[in-house]
Amino acid sequence: MIKIRNYINGKLCEPMSGQYLDNYDPAQGVVYSLIPDSDERDVAAATLAAKNAFHDWSHMKHADRSKILIRISEIIEERLEELAMAESIDNGKPLWLAKSVDIPRARDNFYFFATAAMHFASESHATADNTINYTLRTPIGVAGCISPWNLPLYLFTWKIAPALAAGNCVVAKPSEITPMTAFLLSEICMEAGLPPGVMNIVHGLGPKVGQAISEHPDIPMISFTGGTKTGAQIAATAAPMFKKMSLELGGKNPNIIFADCDFEKMIKTTLNSSFSNQGQICLCGSRIFVERSLYEKFKTRFVSEVQKMKVGDPMNDDSRLGAVVSKPHMEKVLSYIDLAKEEGGTVLTGGHAVNPGGRCESGWFIAPTIIEGLPYKCRTNMEEIFGPVVTIMPFDTEEEVLQYANATEYGLAATLWTENLNRAHRMAAQIKSGIIWINFWLHRDLRTPFGGMKNSGVGREGGWESFRFFTEAKNVCIKY
């Protein structure tokens, strides 16, 4: 049984409690490893190590810092197969998906921010009356980074890489449901020569370890990705302490399809935007609105394509969907399917658990599910399900579909399918989402601002946004 350990002050170590929690392989429904049941004592030790490492790390030439972070990126590439296997076993996602998306993106996160740090500059403002202002952007100290289970290493590194590249030290907490690749990253950090204490990983439960990070007085900034409810809890703790916060939260994203779209491209992409990663991506388009003249054609084709999607052993290359991440999450998703039926919805396909048999007969699998006939404001269409479940409904006018799309408390992402340029710009300007893809989905340029509005979060990550978050700006004004 693999025993994961914390990574504190450059060493792998046991939790102070000496206690461990079960970690499951969702495809088999069995415990396959143990994670530290850490508490505030482990967070205190990690924070002290980070504080002690901060002076030298923040005073290192940024090109030298970047060299170490680029080395981490290279080792992730060298160990890609091993990391992808670990991610697939831990999360239940298909191995091919971990190999093609999760781990390459973790590698790219380190490379992108390591190289960006060598170009990050700040402004100066001169005026005719012999004054000049210059802005200093300096590292702040210890960054608290807390991440979710859906894209474990991908989102974990999305926070850590810019925090380190900007010259901060880090106390990080991965999800207790998917800790494995973060544990492997500890080994990679040691191999890459990251100085002790610069990066610390404390495993354990959110209310214990995550809460301890949110409330530690020596952690002045928190970067969080996860559920909206949890984000509110973190904010309630950190805001009165005037901590900087970047909160990437939930989503309930519209996928708006006009009759003039490129139908084949739209269908192919919509299968992914609906069910990729078992629908466990906060950017998935779970509410599908189709212009009425196209609705029946779309419905028939979409249902038939979804019925061809294989739900199976994540290790098999032909499995389009693997297991959902945990038993409680499977039960939550299935409960929403029951709710949809109570609210008057009709299940066109799916709507049930799947038993792939063999080694996965006790795993947690759900069939990709399409539901129609629901009102746009019912709970099923307002609340985040975060599983392989989408609803579909027709619309007649732009005004009508904008009302539907903007009706939720969320505002993270949206997709829009139309070949009409004017309509594309007109709609994009009115959809209340932080990210809008037109005739595509999940194309990610790491330089762009990433994040949501309303209850989807506060702040933006990506490109210079990340560096601005992880540095303190100081304006110096000189009269000469």
Please report whether residue 233 would count as binding ligand TXE according to CB under 6 A: yes
Q: State the binding string over 448-477 for ligand TXE (x if CB under 6 A, else -).
A: ----x----x--------------------
- Candidate residues 176, 313, 372, 465; the one interacting with ligand TXE per rule CB under 6 A: 176
Between residues 22 and 78, which has the closer beta carbon with respect to ligand TXE?
22
Among 15, 29, 139, 206, binds ligand TXE (CB under 6 A): 206
Distance CA 304, CA 313 (A): 22
Kindly indicate which of the ranges 65-73, 132-140, 207-215, 297-305 contains the residues binding ligand TXE, using the contact rule CB under 6 A.
Answer: 207-215
Piece in contact with ligand TXE (CB under 6 A), picked from 2-10, 12-20, 203-211, 255-263: 203-211
Please identify, among the stretches 18-26, 70-78, 146-154, 192-200, the one whose residues bind ligand TXE according to the rule CB under 6 A.
146-154
Q: How far is CA 474 from the centre of its chain?
A: 31
Binding flags for ligand TXE, 267-306, as an x/- string (CB under 6 A): ---------------x------------------------
Catalytic residue among 248, 291, 384, 465: 248
Concatenated DSSP letters of 145-200: EE--SSSHHHHHHHHHHHHHHTT-EEEEE--TTS-HHHHHHHHHHHHHTPPTTSEE
Answer yes or no whether residue 175 interacts with ligand TXE by CB under 6 A: yes
List the interface residues with ligand TXE, window 85-144 (CB under 6 A): none
Note whether 146 binds ligand TXE by CB under 6 A: yes
Q: Does 210 bind ligand TXE (CB under 6 A)?
A: yes
Closest CA to 354 of 321, 325, 384, 318: 321
What is the closest distance, in whole angstroms, from the C-beta atom of residue 303 to ligand TXE in the complex?
26
Residue appearing with tokens 């991610």: 87
Tell me, yes or no, if 248 is annotated catalytic: yes
Who's near 194: CB < 8 A, 6+ residues apart? 10, 68, 72, 164
Question: How many CB atoms within 10 Å of residue 2?
Answer: 11
Q: Is 211 in the site for ligand TXE (CB under 6 A)?
A: yes
Residues recorded for the chain: 480
Please pick, from the candidates 29, 92, 94, 148, the single residue that binds ligand TXE as defined by CB under 6 A: 148
Q: Would you give the binding string for ligand TXE spanning residues 385-404, x where CB under 6 A is met? A: -x------------------
| 3-state SS class at 131 | strand
The values of phi and psi at residue 368, to 5°, are -60, 130
Told to check if 79 binds ligand TXE by CB under 6 A, we report no
**Residue 70, φ and ψ in degrees, nearest 5:** -65, -35
Q: CA distances (Å), 30 to each of 1, 250, 361, in order?
A: 12, 28, 11
282 annotated active-site: yes
Beta strands 365-366 and 244-248 are: unpaired
Tell me which amino acid residue 145 is: C
In the chain, count of helices (H) and strands (E)?
Answer: 16, 25
Name the site residues for ligand TXE (rule: CB under 6 A).
Answer: 146-150, 173, 175-176, 206-207, 210-211, 214, 225-227, 230, 233-234, 248-251, 282, 384, 386, 412, 452, 457
